[in-house]
Amino acid sequence: MPLLQYQVFQNNVPDGQQFWINPNSNGPLCQTVDTNGHIGENLCILSFPALCTNSGNSTTVPTFQTTVSSQGLSITGFRDNRSFRFQGIPFANPPARWTYPAAYTGSKAINATTFGSQCIQAGQTTGSEDCLFLNIWTPFVPSPSPAPKSSLKAVMFWIHGGAFTSGTGADPTFDGGPMASRGDVIIVTTNYRLSTLGFLALDDGQTNGNYGIADQIAALEWVNQHISAFGGDPDRITIFGQSAGAGSVRALLQSPKAIGNFAAAIQMSNLVGLGYAMTYSQYYTIAQEQTLVADPILAATNCSTAADRLACLKAVDGFTLVNLPTVARFVVADGTFVPQTQLPLNQTGKIADVHAVIGWMRDDGAAFIGTPTNDNAAQALEAAGLPTALANNSLFPIPSNEATDIDDLFNMTARGATDGMFRCLDQATAFSGVQHNLFKSVWTYEFNRSYQTPGFDPNAPKCDAPVDVAHPAGNPDAEYFKCHSGELFFVFGSLPTSLPYRDANDLPFMQVTMDTWTSFARTFDPNPDPAFLKARGFTTSAARLALQPQWEPVTKSNLNGTPLRILEVPSKMNGFRELAQCDFLDFSLNHFG
């Protein structure tokens, strides 16, 4: 019944509309159901819409396949029990090495029932340089097409993380089926070239880097051009990404090639600030990239003295390049795709005027430090790329409540890393964005519940909920580090069946999180409409959201109040955090001017 009531909510049918569900069940009468769930009968000669249900989960059975036509392309995907899926769609021609992507001109008949190859990356034996594919999950395929503008769905364009050296849009963690189905949005994931194959820059005047960023933009352009055929609204595209994906979103916010192709942006755990985080938001020039990155690559491949260094590098096997001790993994200020060395939050350059969400994990930095080898605080800080001035500093005290001094020191270092690599300058980004009226709206959050992905669980088990007798899978209400990537299962609703729900709150929190992210995509407001939740039958989310305050946007009037959403059970509003610590690090709220 909620699915039928949702059609009423969307004004697709009037309340009480009848649908055929069974032919000739009783002579001249056929069976119907109405939008209130009442089963009845009516004369078979009457004209009603038919209700078709779906239990398909196969790409091989033709009845489960569907074909979408768009501007001469014929793209065949399939439907499963959550959504229509189109996998491995080529959005660009196979790229020649270190050239920018060219629009797809291949076969007009595209089999999109299997994922395309991932891009070549370190530590993997599979992958290809022919890897520019995207994937679409949609709850709605228009028929006939084109569909009226009013029926088109919001689009969420996902950019994966992985340090610009690894990852794929086909990662099951990013399966778009649950979000598409529950949120009534379209999910797009994409590949982009990685490591030295995606980010090499040379001082030769032609190899200018940012090939991976250009791939993301080419995929975004393809989506703008074709997504309406899949039921998507090109005027409601939200780009979102985590870690290096968030760094990509930040780069696209200033890219002339990307501005105008999206309406909203979500940065999840963008790295910015000290040590390892610096280059994700403060970009090298091409000259700096040459000295720090390209020269070691040329030396390692014996191409330094070649008459044509680029031709020499092109002859090197791709897997060899991405496994060298030094690889190119940096966005550069190339003047074309990325004009400036950092996002111009001080109004010295153009920024996309879009709705923006900026957030981080409570202990994001705990994933980027090692466990100290002794109780020397200065050594631990230096190893983490943090200022040694944090040692013996009252703003960053070493707690004394852990099992060992080394554990206490890890806690202090993790706090400094989180402030210095994530929290401080992400808060400052929101602050300057609001102060200078750069975005249509700004929302900030801090995730205080996490479920670490098994593929990325650094310093285990520090990022995992502690196990006790009552919680054999871990107790999320106990203290543990809420680490980098710990939000992904909740955002995508993609917890695999091999992992259990740890307590009675994991599933409801996941539902609320998906409802929040998809609400932002649909309406540019992360507070789900209660009428939407009611029409969808999402009673658990509705009840939980009713018991917690609304998520407020960051505005000039509340910058010194409570503009920060703490995402936990239940969620609440809070002030920006660690301000004194951020000031000490020289990362104050007005850092960007």
- Domain 62-333 class, CATH top level: alpha beta
**Residue 361 in tokens:** 């994990």
| pLDDT-derived band at 61, boundaries 50, 70, 90 | low
Residues of the chain with CATH 3.40.50.1820: 62-333, 355-584
Judge whether residue 265 has pLDDT over 90. Answer: yes
292-323 pLDDT tens trace: 999 999 999 999 999 999 999 999 999 999 99
Give mean pLDDT, residues 266-276.
Answer: 96
- Note the pLDDT of residue 495: 97
In eight-state DSSP terms, residue 24 is E
Do residues 102 and 92 touch, judged by C-beta distance below 8 A? yes
Residue pair 228/152 in contact (Cβ under 8 Å)? The answer is: yes
The helix or strand, by DSSP H or E, that contains position 223, with its residue range, turns out to be: helix 211-226
Interval 108-134 mean pLDDT: 96
Question: Can you read off the two tokens belonging to residue 243?
Answer: 């870690």
Residue-level pLDDT at 50: 82
| Per-residue CA distances from 56 to 82, 83, 356 (Å) | 9, 10, 37
Q: What mean pLDDT do residues 442-468 have?
A: 95
pLDDT one-digit tens code per residue, 403-446: 566 788 999 999 999 999 999 999 999 999 999 999 999 999 99
- Contact partners, residue 471, CB within 8 Å, separation at least 6: 465, 478, 502, 503
Separation of alpha carbons 156 and 516, rounded Å: 13
Residues 226-240 have a mean pLDDT of 97
Confidence class of residue 58 from pLDDT cuts 50, 70 and 90? low
Distance CA 166, CA 124 (A): 9
| Closest by CA position to 550, among listed 521, 584, 577, 516 | 516
Distance CA 368, CA 456 (A): 11
Crossing angle between the packed helical segments 506-523 and 539-546, to the nearest 10 degrees: 90
Which pLDDT score is estimated for 399? 83
Say what percent of the chain tops pLDDT 70.
97
Contact 121, 136 (CB under 8 A): no
Residue 107, pLDDT above cutoff 70: yes
Burial class for 317, CB neighbours closer than 10 Å (0-12, 13-18, 19+): exposed
* β pairing state of 73-79 and 84-90: antiparallel
Q: What is the CATH number of domain 355-584?
A: 3.40.50.1820
Between residues 12 and 524, the one the model is more confident about: 524
What tokens does 529 get? 């409409």
Closest of 232, 286, 472, 264 to residue 352, by C-alpha: 264
Residue 176 sits at φ, ψ, to 5 deg, of -85, -5
pLDDT band, residue 59 (cuts 50/70/90): low
Q: Are 263 and 181 contacting, i.e. CB atoms less than 8 angstroms apart? A: no
Tokens of 543: 């009840």
